[in-house]
Structure 1
Amino acid sequence: MTIVEHIQELRSRIIKALLGLLLGTIVGYIWYQNGLTLGRLRIPALGEILLRPYCALPESSRLGPPGECRLLATSPFEMFLLRLKVGALAGVVLSSPVWLGQLWAFITPGLVRRERRVTLAVVSAAVTLFVLGAVLAYFVLTYGLSFLMMIGEEVQTTALTGREYFGFVVGLIVVFGVSFELPLFIVMLNAVGVLKYDAIKDKRRAIILLLFIFAAFMTPGQDPASMVAMALSLCLMVEIALQICRLNDKRRAKARPDWLDLDDEQGSGPVTASGPVRASARPDATAPPAAPGAALDARPAGDFDDVL
Protein backbone atom coordinates (compact mmCIF):
# COMPACT_ATOMS: atom_id res chain seq x y z
CA MET A 1 0.00 0.00 0.00
CA THR A 2 1.10 3.56 -0.67
CA ILE A 3 1.35 6.21 2.04
CA VAL A 4 -1.94 7.74 0.92
CA GLU A 5 -3.66 4.36 1.13
CA HIS A 6 -2.25 3.82 4.64
CA ILE A 7 -3.57 7.22 5.72
CA GLN A 8 -6.98 6.45 4.23
CA GLU A 9 -7.09 3.12 6.05
CA LEU A 10 -6.04 4.81 9.30
CA ARG A 11 -8.82 7.37 8.88
CA SER A 12 -11.35 4.59 8.29
CA ARG A 13 -10.16 2.68 11.38
CA ILE A 14 -10.31 5.82 13.56
CA ILE A 15 -13.84 6.66 12.38
CA LYS A 16 -15.05 3.13 13.15
CA ALA A 17 -13.38 3.21 16.57
CA LEU A 18 -14.96 6.59 17.39
CA LEU A 19 -18.39 5.31 16.33
CA GLY A 20 -17.90 2.34 18.65
CA LEU A 21 -16.94 4.71 21.50
CA LEU A 22 -19.99 6.87 20.81
CA LEU A 23 -22.30 3.86 20.87
CA GLY A 24 -20.67 2.58 24.07
CA THR A 25 -21.06 6.01 25.69
CA ILE A 26 -24.77 6.08 24.85
CA VAL A 27 -25.21 2.61 26.35
CA GLY A 28 -23.24 3.64 29.45
CA TYR A 29 -25.29 6.84 29.82
CA ILE A 30 -28.52 4.83 29.74
CA TRP A 31 -27.12 2.08 31.97
CA TYR A 32 -26.08 4.63 34.60
CA GLN A 33 -29.65 4.99 35.86
CA ASN A 34 -31.47 1.99 34.38
CA GLY A 35 -30.94 -1.66 35.19
CA LEU A 36 -31.44 -4.54 32.80
CA THR A 37 -33.48 -7.69 33.38
CA LEU A 38 -32.81 -10.81 31.29
CA GLY A 39 -35.19 -13.50 32.50
CA ARG A 40 -34.14 -14.33 36.06
CA LEU A 41 -30.89 -12.40 35.66
CA ARG A 42 -31.03 -8.78 36.73
CA ILE A 43 -28.15 -6.44 36.02
CA PRO A 44 -28.29 -3.44 38.38
CA ALA A 45 -27.81 0.11 37.15
CA LEU A 46 -24.21 1.31 36.87
CA GLY A 47 -24.79 4.10 39.37
CA GLU A 48 -26.16 1.57 41.85
CA ILE A 49 -23.11 -0.67 41.41
CA LEU A 50 -20.67 2.17 41.98
CA LEU A 51 -22.67 3.49 44.93
CA ARG A 52 -22.77 0.21 46.86
CA PRO A 53 -19.49 0.78 48.79
CA TYR A 54 -20.84 4.16 49.95
CA CYS A 55 -24.23 2.69 50.86
CA ALA A 56 -22.48 -0.04 52.90
CA LEU A 57 -21.31 2.63 55.37
CA PRO A 58 -23.24 3.12 58.61
CA GLU A 59 -26.01 5.68 58.40
CA SER A 60 -24.14 7.84 60.91
CA SER A 61 -21.37 8.31 58.33
CA ARG A 62 -23.75 9.50 55.61
CA LEU A 63 -25.60 12.77 55.32
CA GLY A 64 -29.32 12.40 54.69
CA PRO A 65 -32.50 10.89 56.10
CA PRO A 66 -32.36 7.36 57.53
CA GLY A 67 -32.74 4.56 55.02
CA GLU A 68 -31.60 6.65 52.04
CA CYS A 69 -28.26 6.57 50.25
CA ARG A 70 -27.63 9.61 48.07
CA LEU A 71 -24.79 11.94 47.21
CA LEU A 72 -24.84 15.73 47.13
CA ALA A 73 -24.94 17.95 44.06
CA THR A 74 -23.68 21.51 44.45
CA SER A 75 -24.41 22.86 40.96
CA PRO A 76 -27.29 22.55 38.49
CA PHE A 77 -25.27 20.71 35.83
CA GLU A 78 -23.27 18.50 38.19
CA MET A 79 -25.61 15.51 37.97
CA PHE A 80 -25.77 15.65 34.16
CA LEU A 81 -22.01 16.03 33.76
CA LEU A 82 -21.37 13.27 36.28
CA ARG A 83 -23.70 10.89 34.46
CA LEU A 84 -22.09 11.80 31.14
CA LYS A 85 -18.57 11.29 32.51
CA VAL A 86 -19.33 7.92 34.09
CA GLY A 87 -21.22 6.85 30.96
CA ALA A 88 -18.22 7.79 28.80
CA LEU A 89 -15.84 5.76 30.98
CA ALA A 90 -18.21 2.82 30.83
CA GLY A 91 -18.43 3.32 27.05
CA VAL A 92 -14.65 3.02 26.73
CA VAL A 93 -14.81 -0.35 28.50
CA LEU A 94 -17.89 -1.61 26.69
CA SER A 95 -16.59 -0.62 23.26
CA SER A 96 -13.08 -1.96 23.87
CA PRO A 97 -13.63 -4.96 21.54
CA VAL A 98 -14.44 -2.50 18.74
CA TRP A 99 -11.54 -0.06 19.04
CA LEU A 100 -9.06 -2.76 20.02
CA GLY A 101 -10.19 -4.76 16.99
CA GLN A 102 -9.67 -1.77 14.71
CA LEU A 103 -6.20 -1.18 16.17
CA TRP A 104 -5.36 -4.86 15.75
CA ALA A 105 -6.59 -4.89 12.13
CA PHE A 106 -4.42 -1.86 11.33
CA ILE A 107 -1.12 -3.10 12.76
CA THR A 108 -1.26 -6.85 12.00
CA PRO A 109 -0.62 -6.61 8.22
CA GLY A 110 2.89 -5.37 9.04
CA LEU A 111 3.69 -8.23 11.42
CA VAL A 112 4.88 -11.73 10.75
CA ARG A 113 3.06 -14.72 12.23
CA ARG A 114 5.29 -15.00 15.30
CA GLU A 115 4.99 -11.26 16.02
CA ARG A 116 1.20 -11.52 15.77
CA ARG A 117 1.13 -14.32 18.33
CA VAL A 118 3.39 -12.41 20.71
CA THR A 119 1.41 -9.18 20.35
CA LEU A 120 -1.89 -10.95 20.90
CA ALA A 121 -0.54 -12.68 24.00
CA VAL A 122 0.79 -9.40 25.46
CA VAL A 123 -2.45 -7.51 24.80
CA SER A 124 -4.55 -10.32 26.28
CA ALA A 125 -2.37 -10.47 29.38
CA ALA A 126 -2.49 -6.68 29.79
CA VAL A 127 -6.30 -6.60 29.58
CA THR A 128 -6.64 -9.50 32.02
CA LEU A 129 -4.30 -7.90 34.56
CA PHE A 130 -6.10 -4.55 34.32
CA VAL A 131 -9.48 -6.22 34.92
CA LEU A 132 -8.09 -8.13 37.92
CA GLY A 133 -6.76 -4.89 39.39
CA ALA A 134 -10.08 -3.10 38.83
CA VAL A 135 -12.07 -5.91 40.47
CA LEU A 136 -9.73 -5.95 43.48
CA ALA A 137 -10.03 -2.17 43.80
CA TYR A 138 -13.81 -2.41 43.87
CA PHE A 139 -13.80 -4.94 46.71
CA VAL A 140 -11.12 -3.04 48.65
CA LEU A 141 -13.06 0.21 48.23
CA THR A 142 -15.57 -0.70 50.92
CA TYR A 143 -12.91 -1.12 53.61
CA GLY A 144 -10.87 1.87 52.52
CA LEU A 145 -13.90 4.15 52.35
CA SER A 146 -15.11 2.95 55.74
CA PHE A 147 -11.75 3.81 57.29
CA LEU A 148 -11.64 7.27 55.73
CA MET A 149 -15.25 8.22 56.44
CA MET A 150 -15.31 7.09 60.07
CA ILE A 151 -12.24 9.05 61.18
CA GLY A 152 -13.41 11.83 63.47
CA GLU A 153 -17.10 11.02 63.07
CA GLU A 154 -17.67 12.06 66.66
CA VAL A 155 -17.07 15.73 65.83
CA GLN A 156 -18.04 16.01 62.16
CA THR A 157 -20.35 14.61 59.51
CA THR A 158 -19.04 13.83 56.04
CA ALA A 159 -21.11 14.93 53.06
CA LEU A 160 -19.70 13.70 49.74
CA THR A 161 -20.65 15.14 46.39
CA GLY A 162 -21.10 12.87 43.41
CA ARG A 163 -18.07 14.40 41.69
CA GLU A 164 -15.78 13.74 44.65
CA TYR A 165 -17.03 10.22 45.32
CA PHE A 166 -17.00 8.95 41.74
CA GLY A 167 -13.65 10.65 41.15
CA PHE A 168 -12.23 8.70 44.10
CA VAL A 169 -13.76 5.42 42.90
CA VAL A 170 -12.58 5.80 39.30
CA GLY A 171 -9.12 6.93 40.41
CA LEU A 172 -8.71 3.92 42.68
CA ILE A 173 -9.84 1.51 39.95
CA VAL A 174 -7.49 3.03 37.37
CA VAL A 175 -4.52 3.05 39.77
CA PHE A 176 -5.03 -0.61 40.69
CA GLY A 177 -5.52 -1.61 37.06
CA VAL A 178 -2.41 0.19 35.81
CA SER A 179 -0.30 -1.02 38.75
CA PHE A 180 -1.14 -4.62 37.91
CA GLU A 181 0.68 -4.17 34.59
CA LEU A 182 4.04 -4.08 36.43
CA PRO A 183 4.56 -7.89 36.41
CA LEU A 184 3.88 -7.98 32.66
CA PHE A 185 6.48 -5.24 32.16
CA ILE A 186 9.06 -7.32 34.07
CA VAL A 187 8.33 -10.40 31.96
CA MET A 188 8.61 -8.38 28.75
CA LEU A 189 12.01 -6.98 29.78
CA ASN A 190 13.19 -10.50 30.49
CA ALA A 191 11.85 -11.80 27.17
CA VAL A 192 13.89 -9.27 25.19
CA GLY A 193 17.03 -10.02 27.22
CA VAL A 194 17.27 -6.71 29.11
CA LEU A 195 16.47 -8.05 32.59
CA LYS A 196 18.00 -11.32 33.86
CA TYR A 197 16.69 -13.34 36.77
CA ASP A 198 20.18 -13.66 38.28
CA ALA A 199 20.42 -9.86 38.47
CA ILE A 200 17.34 -9.43 40.68
CA LYS A 201 16.89 -12.76 42.51
CA ASP A 202 18.82 -11.49 45.56
CA LYS A 203 17.00 -8.13 45.71
CA ARG A 204 13.58 -9.28 46.86
CA ARG A 205 13.67 -7.28 50.10
CA ALA A 206 14.38 -4.07 48.22
CA ILE A 207 11.65 -4.89 45.70
CA ILE A 208 9.08 -5.49 48.45
CA LEU A 209 10.03 -2.22 50.15
CA LEU A 210 9.69 -0.30 46.88
CA LEU A 211 6.30 -1.89 46.20
CA PHE A 212 4.97 -0.79 49.59
CA ILE A 213 6.29 2.74 49.01
CA PHE A 214 4.72 2.74 45.55
CA ALA A 215 1.36 1.64 46.97
CA ALA A 216 1.53 4.32 49.68
CA PHE A 217 1.99 7.09 47.10
CA MET A 218 -0.35 5.78 44.38
CA THR A 219 -3.55 4.97 46.29
CA PRO A 220 -5.84 8.03 46.08
CA GLY A 221 -7.03 7.99 49.71
CA GLN A 222 -3.77 6.74 51.31
CA ASP A 223 -5.87 4.53 53.57
CA PRO A 224 -4.18 1.43 55.09
CA ALA A 225 -6.64 -1.06 53.57
CA SER A 226 -6.02 0.06 49.98
CA MET A 227 -2.26 0.40 50.44
CA VAL A 228 -1.82 -3.03 52.04
CA ALA A 229 -4.08 -4.74 49.50
CA MET A 230 -2.23 -3.20 46.56
CA ALA A 231 1.22 -3.86 48.03
CA LEU A 232 0.52 -7.51 48.89
CA SER A 233 -1.09 -8.16 45.51
CA LEU A 234 1.84 -6.61 43.67
CA CYS A 235 4.33 -8.60 45.76
CA LEU A 236 2.56 -11.84 44.86
CA MET A 237 2.32 -11.00 41.16
CA VAL A 238 5.91 -9.77 40.96
CA GLU A 239 7.08 -13.04 42.53
CA ILE A 240 5.12 -14.96 39.88
CA ALA A 241 6.74 -12.77 37.21
CA LEU A 242 10.20 -13.52 38.68
CA GLN A 243 9.54 -17.24 38.54
CA ILE A 244 8.50 -16.90 34.89
CA CYS A 245 11.78 -15.06 34.26
CA ARG A 246 13.71 -17.85 35.99
CA LEU A 247 12.09 -20.52 33.83
CA ASN A 248 12.63 -18.46 30.70
CA ASP A 249 16.32 -17.93 31.46
CA LYS A 250 16.72 -21.65 32.19
CA ARG A 251 15.09 -22.58 28.89
CA ARG A 252 17.20 -20.03 27.04
CA ALA A 253 20.42 -21.36 28.63
CA LYS A 254 19.65 -24.90 27.44
CA ALA A 255 19.11 -23.73 23.87
CA ARG A 256 22.27 -21.58 23.85
CA PRO A 257 25.45 -23.29 22.52
CA ASP A 258 28.45 -23.37 24.87
CA TRP A 259 30.86 -21.68 22.47
CA LEU A 260 28.83 -18.43 22.62
CA ASP A 261 29.80 -18.04 26.28
CA LEU A 262 33.55 -18.30 25.65
CA ASP A 263 35.86 -15.31 25.89
CA ASP A 264 36.85 -13.64 22.63
CA GLU A 265 40.50 -14.72 23.08
CA GLN A 266 39.75 -18.23 24.28
CA GLY A 267 39.88 -21.15 21.88
CA SER A 268 36.88 -23.41 21.54
CA GLY A 269 39.04 -26.59 21.61
CA PRO A 270 40.25 -29.01 18.95
CA VAL A 271 38.24 -29.17 15.78
CA THR A 272 37.11 -32.68 14.95
CA ALA A 273 36.57 -33.91 11.43
CA SER A 274 33.00 -34.08 10.29
CA GLY A 275 33.57 -37.48 8.62
CA PRO A 276 36.14 -39.70 6.88
CA VAL A 277 37.69 -38.46 3.65
CA ARG A 278 36.59 -40.53 0.69
CA ALA A 279 39.32 -42.46 -1.13
CA SER A 280 38.37 -41.03 -4.50
CA ALA A 281 38.98 -37.52 -3.21
CA ARG A 282 42.57 -38.18 -2.01
CA PRO A 283 45.33 -36.98 -4.41
CA ASP A 284 47.70 -39.63 -5.80
CA ALA A 285 51.25 -38.71 -4.73
CA THR A 286 52.87 -41.04 -7.31
CA ALA A 287 51.04 -39.54 -10.32
CA PRO A 288 53.05 -36.97 -12.35
CA PRO A 289 51.72 -33.42 -12.25
CA ALA A 290 49.44 -32.47 -15.11
CA ALA A 291 50.77 -30.13 -17.75
CA PRO A 292 49.47 -26.56 -17.74
CA GLY A 293 46.42 -26.24 -19.93
CA ALA A 294 45.75 -29.98 -19.91
CA ALA A 295 42.43 -29.47 -18.23
CA LEU A 296 41.35 -27.06 -20.94
CA ASP A 297 42.59 -29.41 -23.66
CA ALA A 298 40.52 -32.22 -22.22
CA ARG A 299 37.33 -30.21 -22.47
CA PRO A 300 35.19 -30.44 -25.56
CA ALA A 301 35.32 -27.54 -27.96
CA GLY A 302 31.80 -26.50 -27.12
CA ASP A 303 32.66 -25.85 -23.48
CA PHE A 304 34.98 -22.89 -24.17
CA ASP A 305 31.97 -20.61 -24.24
CA ASP A 306 31.26 -21.52 -20.65
CA VAL A 307 34.84 -20.80 -19.66
CA LEU A 308 34.74 -17.39 -21.27
Structure 2
Amino acid sequence: MPLRAHLLELRSRVGRAALGLLIGAVVGWLLYDVVFQVLQTPVVALQGAEQGTQLNFPGVMAPLDMQVKVSLFIGVLISSPWWLYQLWAFITPGLTHRERLVTVGFLSAAVPLFLTGAFLAWWLLPKAVGVLTAFTPPDALNLINAQEYLTFVMRMVLAFGAGFLLPVVMVALTMVGVVEGRTWLRGWRVAVMLSFVFGAVATPTGDVLSMLVLAVPIVVLYFAAVGIGTLLDRRRARRAAEEDAAYLAEHGG
Protein backbone atom coordinates (compact mmCIF):
# COMPACT_ATOMS: atom_id res chain seq x y z
CA MET A 1 0.00 0.00 0.00
CA PRO A 2 1.47 3.44 -0.95
CA LEU A 3 2.38 5.92 1.80
CA ARG A 4 -0.51 8.22 0.92
CA ALA A 5 -2.97 5.34 1.17
CA HIS A 6 -1.49 4.40 4.56
CA LEU A 7 -1.93 7.96 5.82
CA LEU A 8 -5.51 8.09 4.56
CA GLU A 9 -6.23 4.75 6.21
CA LEU A 10 -4.69 5.99 9.45
CA ARG A 11 -6.80 9.15 9.38
CA SER A 12 -9.92 7.11 8.74
CA ARG A 13 -9.23 4.68 11.58
CA VAL A 14 -8.33 7.45 14.02
CA GLY A 15 -11.51 9.31 13.13
CA ARG A 16 -13.66 6.23 13.65
CA ALA A 17 -11.93 5.46 16.96
CA ALA A 18 -12.46 9.07 18.09
CA LEU A 19 -16.15 8.87 17.19
CA GLY A 20 -16.50 5.71 19.28
CA LEU A 21 -14.67 7.41 22.15
CA LEU A 22 -17.00 10.40 21.90
CA ILE A 23 -20.09 8.18 22.10
CA GLY A 24 -18.57 6.37 25.08
CA ALA A 25 -17.83 9.74 26.72
CA VAL A 26 -21.50 10.75 26.34
CA VAL A 27 -22.48 7.57 28.17
CA GLY A 28 -19.77 8.37 30.73
CA TRP A 29 -21.26 11.83 31.24
CA LEU A 30 -24.60 10.23 32.13
CA LEU A 31 -22.90 7.79 34.51
CA TYR A 32 -20.62 10.41 36.10
CA ASP A 33 -22.28 10.60 39.54
CA VAL A 34 -22.20 6.84 40.06
CA VAL A 35 -18.65 6.43 38.72
CA PHE A 36 -17.28 9.35 40.74
CA GLN A 37 -18.66 7.84 43.92
CA VAL A 38 -16.81 4.64 43.07
CA LEU A 39 -13.60 6.49 42.18
CA GLN A 40 -13.45 8.31 45.49
CA THR A 41 -14.15 5.17 47.55
CA PRO A 42 -10.44 4.59 48.41
CA VAL A 43 -10.21 8.17 49.68
CA VAL A 44 -13.50 8.06 51.59
CA ALA A 45 -12.35 4.86 53.29
CA LEU A 46 -9.42 6.79 54.79
CA GLN A 47 -11.42 9.76 56.09
CA GLY A 48 -11.71 8.17 59.50
CA ALA A 49 -7.97 7.57 59.73
CA GLU A 50 -5.70 9.72 61.83
CA GLN A 51 -4.16 11.49 58.85
CA GLY A 52 -7.56 12.77 57.59
CA THR A 53 -7.96 12.55 53.82
CA GLN A 54 -10.41 14.38 51.57
CA LEU A 55 -10.79 15.20 47.89
CA ASN A 56 -10.54 18.90 47.10
CA PHE A 57 -11.81 20.85 44.07
CA PRO A 58 -9.47 23.84 43.75
CA GLY A 59 -11.41 26.37 41.70
CA VAL A 60 -14.78 27.23 40.21
CA MET A 61 -14.16 25.31 36.98
CA ALA A 62 -12.62 22.27 38.67
CA PRO A 63 -15.88 20.27 39.10
CA LEU A 64 -16.79 20.70 35.41
CA ASP A 65 -13.26 19.83 34.31
CA MET A 66 -13.40 16.77 36.54
CA GLN A 67 -16.68 15.60 35.01
CA VAL A 68 -15.30 15.99 31.47
CA LYS A 69 -12.16 14.00 32.31
CA VAL A 70 -14.09 11.24 34.08
CA SER A 71 -16.49 11.03 31.12
CA LEU A 72 -13.56 10.63 28.72
CA PHE A 73 -12.01 8.04 31.01
CA ILE A 74 -15.25 6.04 31.02
CA GLY A 75 -15.44 6.48 27.26
CA VAL A 76 -12.02 4.89 26.80
CA LEU A 77 -13.10 1.84 28.79
CA ILE A 78 -16.56 1.50 27.25
CA SER A 79 -15.36 1.95 23.66
CA SER A 80 -12.32 -0.32 24.05
CA PRO A 81 -13.77 -3.06 21.77
CA TRP A 82 -14.30 -0.46 19.04
CA TRP A 83 -10.93 1.31 19.12
CA LEU A 84 -9.13 -2.00 19.51
CA TYR A 85 -10.88 -3.18 16.35
CA GLN A 86 -9.77 -0.01 14.55
CA LEU A 87 -6.20 -0.68 15.66
CA TRP A 88 -6.41 -4.24 14.32
CA ALA A 89 -8.01 -3.13 11.05
CA PHE A 90 -5.20 -0.63 10.47
CA ILE A 91 -2.44 -3.15 11.24
CA THR A 92 -3.96 -5.85 9.01
CA PRO A 93 -5.32 -4.16 5.87
CA GLY A 94 -3.73 -6.61 3.42
CA LEU A 95 -4.71 -9.96 4.92
CA THR A 96 -6.77 -12.52 3.04
CA HIS A 97 -10.44 -13.01 3.77
CA ARG A 98 -9.64 -16.15 5.75
CA GLU A 99 -7.05 -14.37 7.85
CA ARG A 100 -9.46 -11.51 8.51
CA LEU A 101 -11.67 -13.99 10.32
CA VAL A 102 -9.14 -13.95 13.15
CA THR A 103 -10.44 -10.44 13.96
CA VAL A 104 -13.00 -12.11 16.20
CA GLY A 105 -10.21 -13.97 17.94
CA PHE A 106 -8.17 -10.78 18.28
CA LEU A 107 -11.02 -8.88 19.93
CA SER A 108 -11.93 -11.91 22.04
CA ALA A 109 -8.42 -11.80 23.48
CA ALA A 110 -7.64 -8.07 23.45
CA VAL A 111 -10.77 -6.74 25.14
CA PRO A 112 -10.72 -9.15 28.13
CA LEU A 113 -6.95 -8.62 28.56
CA PHE A 114 -7.31 -4.83 28.53
CA LEU A 115 -10.20 -4.91 30.98
CA THR A 116 -8.39 -7.45 33.18
CA GLY A 117 -5.41 -5.11 33.42
CA ALA A 118 -7.71 -2.20 34.24
CA PHE A 119 -9.49 -4.25 36.92
CA LEU A 120 -6.17 -5.31 38.42
CA ALA A 121 -5.16 -1.65 38.70
CA TRP A 122 -8.47 -0.85 40.40
CA TRP A 123 -7.92 -3.74 42.81
CA LEU A 124 -4.51 -2.32 43.78
CA LEU A 125 -5.71 1.29 43.96
CA PRO A 126 -6.96 1.32 47.60
CA LYS A 127 -3.64 -0.11 48.73
CA ALA A 128 -1.74 2.48 46.71
CA VAL A 129 -3.78 5.35 48.15
CA GLY A 130 -3.40 4.00 51.67
CA VAL A 131 0.37 3.60 51.38
CA LEU A 132 0.96 7.02 49.85
CA THR A 133 -1.32 8.97 52.21
CA ALA A 134 0.20 7.22 55.22
CA PHE A 135 3.08 9.71 55.01
CA THR A 136 0.71 12.54 56.04
CA PRO A 137 1.86 13.90 59.44
CA PRO A 138 -0.37 13.12 62.46
CA ASP A 139 -3.31 15.48 63.07
CA ALA A 140 -2.84 16.97 59.59
CA LEU A 141 -5.52 17.08 56.88
CA ASN A 142 -4.53 15.80 53.45
CA LEU A 143 -6.59 17.78 50.92
CA ILE A 144 -6.09 15.74 47.75
CA ASN A 145 -6.47 17.68 44.52
CA ALA A 146 -9.35 15.90 42.76
CA GLN A 147 -7.87 16.42 39.30
CA GLU A 148 -4.45 15.12 40.33
CA TYR A 149 -6.14 12.13 41.97
CA LEU A 150 -8.06 11.37 38.78
CA THR A 151 -4.86 11.63 36.72
CA PHE A 152 -3.24 9.21 39.15
CA VAL A 153 -6.12 6.72 38.79
CA MET A 154 -6.33 7.04 35.01
CA ARG A 155 -2.58 6.59 34.55
CA MET A 156 -2.59 3.49 36.71
CA VAL A 157 -5.67 1.89 35.11
CA LEU A 158 -4.68 2.63 31.50
CA ALA A 159 -1.05 1.60 32.07
CA PHE A 160 -2.15 -1.77 33.45
CA GLY A 161 -4.62 -2.23 30.57
CA ALA A 162 -1.98 -1.33 27.98
CA GLY A 163 0.51 -3.71 29.57
CA PHE A 164 -1.92 -6.59 29.21
CA LEU A 165 -2.42 -5.74 25.52
CA LEU A 166 1.23 -6.54 24.76
CA PRO A 167 0.69 -10.17 23.63
CA VAL A 168 -2.05 -9.40 21.11
CA VAL A 169 0.05 -6.61 19.59
CA MET A 170 2.99 -9.03 19.34
CA VAL A 171 0.85 -11.67 17.61
CA ALA A 172 -0.59 -9.07 15.23
CA LEU A 173 2.89 -7.86 14.22
CA THR A 174 4.00 -11.46 13.69
CA MET A 175 0.90 -12.27 11.67
CA VAL A 176 1.50 -9.42 9.21
CA GLY A 177 5.17 -10.34 8.93
CA VAL A 178 6.62 -7.24 10.62
CA VAL A 179 8.37 -9.22 13.38
CA GLU A 180 9.10 -12.96 13.36
CA GLY A 181 8.33 -15.14 16.35
CA ARG A 182 11.97 -16.10 16.80
CA THR A 183 12.86 -12.41 16.99
CA TRP A 184 10.55 -12.04 19.98
CA LEU A 185 12.14 -15.12 21.50
CA ARG A 186 15.68 -13.77 21.08
CA GLY A 187 14.69 -10.64 22.97
CA TRP A 188 13.15 -12.44 25.95
CA ARG A 189 15.78 -11.23 28.44
CA VAL A 190 15.20 -7.59 27.54
CA ALA A 191 11.44 -8.16 27.56
CA VAL A 192 11.51 -9.65 31.08
CA MET A 193 13.64 -6.79 32.36
CA LEU A 194 11.37 -4.17 30.77
CA SER A 195 8.30 -5.92 32.20
CA PHE A 196 9.63 -5.53 35.72
CA VAL A 197 10.72 -1.95 35.07
CA PHE A 198 7.24 -1.21 33.74
CA GLY A 199 5.74 -2.92 36.80
CA ALA A 200 7.85 -0.77 39.12
CA VAL A 201 6.93 2.46 37.31
CA ALA A 202 3.21 1.74 36.84
CA THR A 203 2.66 0.74 40.49
CA PRO A 204 3.08 3.91 42.56
CA THR A 205 3.33 2.12 45.91
CA GLY A 206 6.84 0.92 45.11
CA ASP A 207 6.48 -2.36 46.99
CA VAL A 208 7.68 -5.65 45.52
CA LEU A 209 4.31 -7.42 45.73
CA SER A 210 2.48 -4.81 43.62
CA MET A 211 5.27 -4.86 41.06
CA LEU A 212 5.10 -8.65 40.80
CA VAL A 213 1.31 -8.59 40.46
CA LEU A 214 1.73 -6.59 37.26
CA ALA A 215 5.09 -7.81 35.91
CA VAL A 216 4.62 -11.58 36.25
CA PRO A 217 1.36 -11.76 34.21
CA ILE A 218 2.95 -9.60 31.50
CA VAL A 219 5.95 -11.95 31.33
CA VAL A 220 3.65 -14.98 31.11
CA LEU A 221 1.60 -13.33 28.37
CA TYR A 222 4.82 -12.41 26.53
CA PHE A 223 5.97 -16.02 26.35
CA ALA A 224 2.47 -17.12 25.34
CA ALA A 225 2.65 -14.64 22.45
CA VAL A 226 6.14 -15.93 21.56
CA GLY A 227 4.70 -19.45 21.35
CA ILE A 228 1.87 -18.34 19.09
CA GLY A 229 4.30 -16.32 16.97
CA THR A 230 6.54 -19.36 16.55
CA LEU A 231 3.58 -21.43 15.36
CA LEU A 232 2.68 -18.70 12.87
CA ASP A 233 6.27 -18.70 11.57
CA ARG A 234 6.17 -22.45 11.05
CA ARG A 235 2.83 -22.27 9.28
CA ARG A 236 4.08 -19.48 7.03
CA ALA A 237 7.27 -21.43 6.22
CA ARG A 238 5.27 -24.60 5.47
CA ARG A 239 2.92 -22.69 3.20
CA ALA A 240 5.86 -21.12 1.34
CA ALA A 241 7.46 -24.55 0.88
CA GLU A 242 4.20 -25.96 -0.48
CA GLU A 243 3.87 -23.05 -2.92
CA ASP A 244 7.48 -23.51 -4.09
CA ALA A 245 6.91 -27.24 -4.58
CA ALA A 246 3.72 -26.58 -6.53
CA TYR A 247 5.50 -24.02 -8.71
CA LEU A 248 8.37 -26.41 -9.47
CA ALA A 249 5.96 -29.21 -10.27
CA GLU A 250 3.95 -26.99 -12.58
CA HIS A 251 6.99 -25.68 -14.44
CA GLY A 252 8.83 -28.95 -14.52
CA GLY A 253 11.65 -27.78 -12.27
Does 1:170 find its partner at 2:154? yes
Question: How does 1:267-306 map onto structure 2 within 5 Å?
Answer: none
5+ long unaligned stretches in structure 1: 1-6, 34-44, 65-69, 261-267, 275-308
Q: Distance in 1 between matches of 2:41 and 2:83?
A: 30
Amino acid at match of 2:113: L
Q: Distance in 1 between matches of 2:179 and 2:92?
A: 25
Does 1:238 find its partner at 2:222? yes
- The counterpart of 2:60, out of the listed 72, 76, 81, is 76
Amino acid at match of 1:54: V
Per the TM alignment, residue 137 of structure 1 is displaced from its structure 2 partner at its CA by 0.9
Aligned partners of 1:129 and 1:181 also within 8 Å: yes
- Which stretch of the first structure deviates more once superposed, 160-169 or 149-158? 149-158
Aligned partners of 1:126 and 1:184 also within 8 Å: yes
Aligned partners of 2:56 and 2:146 also within 8 Å: yes
Q: Distance in 2 between matches of 1:86 and 1:72?
A: 16
Does 1:223 find its partner at 2:181? no
TM-score by length of 1: 0.60
Amino acid at match of 2:44: C
Match of 1:50 in 2: 39
Greater fraction of residues in helix: 2
Question: How does 1:29-44 map onto structure 2 within 5 Å?
Answer: 29-33=29-33
Match of 1:194 in 2: 179
Q: 1:85 to 1:235 in 2, by over 3 A?
A: same
Alpha-carbon displacement from aligned partner over 1:91-116 (angstroms, at most 9, x marks no partner): 34435667788999999999752253
Aligned partners of 1:32 and 1:46 also within 8 Å: yes
5+ long unaligned stretches in structure 2: 1-7
Across the aligned residues of Structure 1 and Structure 2, the Cα RMSD in angstroms comes to: 4.3
Per the TM alignment, residue 232 of structure 1 is displaced from its structure 2 partner at its CA by 1.6
Per the TM alignment, residue 188 of structure 1 is displaced from its structure 2 partner at its CA by 2.5
Q: 1:61 to 1:95 in 2, by over 3 A?
A: farther
- The counterpart of 2:49, out of the listed 50, 60, 63, is 60
Q: Which has the higher contact order (CA 8 A, sep 6+)?
A: 2
Aligned partners of 2:56 and 2:145 also within 8 Å: yes
Amino acid at match of 2:179: V
Aligned pair count reads 235
Q: Distance in 2 between matches of 1:152 and 1:16?
A: 42
Aligned partners of 2:195 and 2:218 also within 8 Å: yes
Q: Give the 3-state SS of the residue equivalent to 1:71 in structure 2.
A: strand
Alpha-carbon displacement from aligned partner over 1:181-226 (angstroms, at most 9, x marks no partner): 22122223333263233x5546544432221123333x16362254
Aligned partners of 1:61 and 1:150 also within 8 Å: no
Match of 2:3 in 1: none
Q: Distance in 2 between matches of 1:238 and 1:187?
A: 10
Q: Distance in 2 between matches of 1:240 and 1:103?
A: 21
